[in-house]
Amino acid sequence: MQVRNTRERYGLMAVSLHWIMAVGVIGTAITGLWMTGLDYYSPWYQTAPFWHKSVGIALAALIILRLLWRWANPSPAALSHHQRWEVVLAKVIHSLLYVLLLVIVISGYLISTAKGRGVSVFGWFEVPALVTGLPSQADRAGFVHYWLGVTLLGLVGLHALGALKHHFLDHDNTLRRMLGMRPRPSKEKDA
């Protein structure tokens, strides 16, 4: 597999970034939802937020890298048999995923820095608290972070269902392209 995208398929870089981010986003979301139920006496009360924040900052860097890669290396063209509404819906959902990810990361940063402390990233370095002391900063950012996180999970589910629909019902190469697999032998609808 080549590193860059072609008109027909995604390259190694796009495929790798997609799946690393998919695992990171789903894992961070599940951890975040789980953390809301922890009490002060839980052994995970300090540890879970540390990992959640660290992975969140790493995802922020990956989002930026992915957007830069996408800008410098355009995505393959939609398959010719895709309906116009499918192409438009896919573009809207992809755009929303990026916007939600960026706002979720920013709101998470605002929660973490509300008291003036930076965010430790895996204990390797600290992202400084540049924005702090806004009125009800942690509460407002927490509301945004939670609800956009739930919305993101819904969109991720819709995105996955679309890929599965193309693979199992349409029998086309949409999912295979993002898995880095060779396309199925060409039929009229994959041309």
Cα atoms found within 13 Å of the Cα of residue 3, Cβ hemisphere only:
2
Radius of gyration (C-alpha) of the chain in whole angstroms: 19
Nearest of 143, 124, 156 to residue 54 by alpha carbon: 124
State residue 74's pLDDT score: 86
- Write out pLDDT tens, residues 85-96: 999 999 999 999
Q: What is the mean pLDDT of residues 7-13?
A: 89
Phi, psi (deg, nearest 5) at residue 164: -65, -35
- Write out pLDDT tens, residues 103-139: 999 999 999 999 999 999 999 999 999 999 999 999 9
**123 φψ region: left (φ > 0), alpha (ψ -120 to 50), beta (else):** left
State residue 62's pLDDT score: 97
**Higher per-residue pLDDT: 60 or 190:** 60
- Write out pLDDT tens, residues 13-69: 999 999 999 999 999 999 999 999 999 999 999 999 999 999 999 999 999 999 999
State residue 178's pLDDT score: 87
Domains contained in the chain, CATH given? 12-190 (1.20.950)
State residue 188's pLDDT score: 47
DSSP secondary structure string for all residues of 124-152: TEEE---S---TTHHHHHHHHHHHHHHHH
Whether pLDDT at 187 is above 70:
no
